[in-house]
Amino acid sequence: MALGQALLALGPERTTRAALAHLRVAVRSDNTLPLACWAAKRTGAKVILDAHEYAPRQAEHLLLWRMTFQGFYEYLCKKYLPSVGAMMTVCQGLADAYETNYGVRPVVVTNAQPSRVRFIG
């Protein structure tokens, strides 16, 4: 449930820190972390980050991206990842990179089931 929908469902008489403490703010992208962390801080909710890529290196093959956005994503990770309540990513390599560089340990949740392909021969 989105934060706004949750607030509307609670009604004005129940929107207190105690009532909001069970809420979670789920984000899928590092560039939404500042807003999510701000909302969580004001409501007592926890931020859950679903990181599908290693944000500081997601387009490092592009020189312009490295020159303009890479530092921004490094800043976001350094500043906001420590305050995230939970984090998940899609593979062990990404989890290791986040732990090595930012001190957070995401849970690995793969996007695919284990392969059932059997090779003949």
Over the stretch 71-120, which tens digit does the pLDDT of each residue have? 999 999 999 999 898 898 989 999 999 999 999 999 998 876 666 666 67
Token pair 């990404």 is found at 94
Please determine, for residue 18, whether its predicted confidence score (pLDDT) is greater than 50: no
For residue 117, tell me if it sits in a domain: no
pLDDT recorded at residue 5: 54
- Does any domain span residue 113? no
Q: Residue 114: inside a domain, yes or no?
A: no
- The parent domain of residue 28 ranges over 3-108
Q: Is residue 79 part of a domain?
A: yes
Residue at 74 is within a domain: yes
**Structural domain tally of the chain?**
1
Cβ-proximal residues to 1 (8 Å cutoff; 6+ apart), any chain: 9, 23
- Within-domain flag for 31: yes
**Phi, psi angles (nearest 5°) of residue 67:** -75, -30
45 CA to centre of own chain: 14
* Separation in Å, CA 4 to CA 31, 56, 59, 67, 80: 19, 29, 32, 35, 21
Instruction: Provide the whole-model pTM.
Output: 0.70
1: pLDDT confidence band, cut at 50, 70 and 90?
very low
